[in-house]
Amino acid sequence: MKKFMDENFLLQTETAQELYHNHAAKMPIIDYHCHLSPKMVADDYQFKSITEIWLGGDHYKWRAMRSNGVAERYCTGDASDWEKFEKWAETVPYTLRNPLYHWTHLELKTAFGIEKILNPSTAREIFDECNAKLATPEYSARNLMRRYHVETVCTTDDPVDSLEYHIATRESGFEIKMLPTWRPDKAMAVEVPADFRAYVEKLSEVSGVSISSFDNMVEALRKRHEFFAAQGCKLSDHGLEEFYAEDYTDAEIRAIFNKVYGGTPLTHEEILKYKSAMLVVFGEMDYETGWTQQYHYGAIRNNNTKMFKLIGPDTGFDSIGEFNTAKSMSKFLDRLNTEGKLTKTILYNLNPCANEVIATMLGNFQDGTIPGKIQFGSGWWFLDQKDGMEKQMNALSLLGLLSRFVGMLTDSRSFLSYPRHEYFRRTLCNLLGKDVENGEIPVSEMPRVQQMVEDISYYNAKNFFQF
Ligand X SMILES: O=C[C@H](O)[C@@H](O)[C@@H](O)[C@H](O)C(=O)O
With respect to ligand X, which residue has the nearer C-beta, 60 or 261? 60
Dihedrals φ, ψ of 319, to 5°? -155, 175
* By CB under 6 A, residue 295 contacts ligand X: no
Gap between the Cα atoms of 261 and 201, Å rounded:
10
With respect to ligand X, which residue has the nearer C-beta, 77 or 313? 313
Least distance from ligand X to the Cβ atom of residue 407, Å: 16
Q: Which residues, listed in sequence order, are joined to residue 177 by a DSSP beta bridge?
A: 152
With respect to ligand X, which residue has the nearer C-beta, 216 or 315? 315
How far does CA 388 lie from the centroid of its chain? 15
DSSP labels, 217-254: HHHHHHHHHHHHHHTT--EEEEEESS-------HHHHH
Least distance from ligand X to the Cβ atom of residue 350, Å: 9
Least distance from ligand X to the Cβ atom of residue 82, Å: 26
* By CB under 6 A, residue 411 contacts ligand X: yes
Contact 27, 458 (CB under 8 A): yes
Least distance from ligand X to the Cβ atom of residue 145, Å: 18
* By CB under 6 A, residue 31 contacts ligand X: no
Gap between the Cα atoms of 315 and 302, Å rounded:
8
Strands 374-376 and 299-300, sheet pairing: unpaired
Quick one: which of 239, 298, 372, 419 contacts ligand X (CB under 6 A)? 239
- In sequence order, the 6+-apart residues with CB closer than 8 A to the CB of 368 are none
**Helix residue spans in 339-459 (DSSP H):** 355-365, 386-399, 419-437, 446-454
Quick one: which of 296, 420, 421, 425 contacts ligand X (CB under 6 A)? 296
* By CB under 6 A, residue 215 contacts ligand X: no
With respect to ligand X, which residue has the nearer C-beta, 261 or 381? 381
* By CB under 6 A, residue 381 contacts ligand X: yes
With respect to ligand X, which residue has the nearer C-beta, 299 or 359? 299
Least distance from ligand X to the Cβ atom of residue 420, Å: 10
With respect to ligand X, which residue has the nearer C-beta, 84 or 296? 296
Least distance from ligand X to the Cβ atom of residue 411, Å: 4
- In sequence order, the 6+-apart residues with CB closer than 8 A to the CB of 41 are 141, 142, 145, 153, 165, 169, 174, 178
* By CB under 6 A, residue 35 contacts ligand X: yes
* By CB under 6 A, residue 420 contacts ligand X: no
Closest Cα to residue 35, out of 313, 354, 423, 344?
313
With respect to ligand X, which residue has the nearer C-beta, 11 or 240? 240
Taking residue 169's Cβ as centre, other Cβ atoms within 10 Å add up to: 22
* By CB under 6 A, residue 261 contacts ligand X: no
Least distance from ligand X to the Cβ atom of residue 117, Å: 25
Least distance from ligand X to the Cβ atom of residue 231, Å: 20
Gap between the Cα atoms of 13 and 430, Å rounded:
7
* By CB under 6 A, residue 103 contacts ligand X: no
* By CB under 6 A, residue 157 contacts ligand X: no
* By CB under 6 A, residue 314 contacts ligand X: yes
Least distance from ligand X to the Cβ atom of residue 437, Å: 33
* By CB under 6 A, residue 85 contacts ligand X: no
Local structure of 193: helix, strand or coil = helix
* By CB under 6 A, residue 186 contacts ligand X: no
# residues contacting ligand X (CB under 6 A): 6
* By CB under 6 A, residue 316 contacts ligand X: no
Contact 17, 433 (CB under 8 A): yes
Instruction: Say which DSSP state 458 is in.
Output: I
Closest Cα to residue 225, out of 274, 184, 278, 279?
184
Interface residues toward ligand X, by CB under 6 A:
35, 239, 296, 314, 381, 411
